[in-house]
Amino acid sequence: MIKCHLSRILGEKRLKIADVARDTEINRGTITRLYHETAVRVDFEALEKLCRYLDCEIGEMLTLEDDSY
């Protein structure tokens, strides 16, 4: 399973979803779905904008987790 760490990153940087949406021009719903890890697909352009805005690498935002129990 792919885990999105956007909520942690925004928390560390003390940013709000609304501010990120306004500054990056990414749809607020897209950011909200990533934040709550309910997104089923993500546009590469949106990921690139988020990484550039947050000054992070894609591997810091998304990780592949072992989902075997």
Q: Per-block average pLDDT, block size 10, for the chain (69 residues)? A: 96 98 97 96 96 97 84
pLDDT value for 66: 86
pLDDT value for 62: 96
CA dihedral (42, 29, 65, 6) positive or negative: positive
pLDDT value for 43: 95
What CATH number does the domain located at 2-64 have?
Answer: 1.10.260.40
* Domain locations in the chain as residue ranges: 2-64
pLDDT value for 67: 75
**pTM confidence score:** 0.90
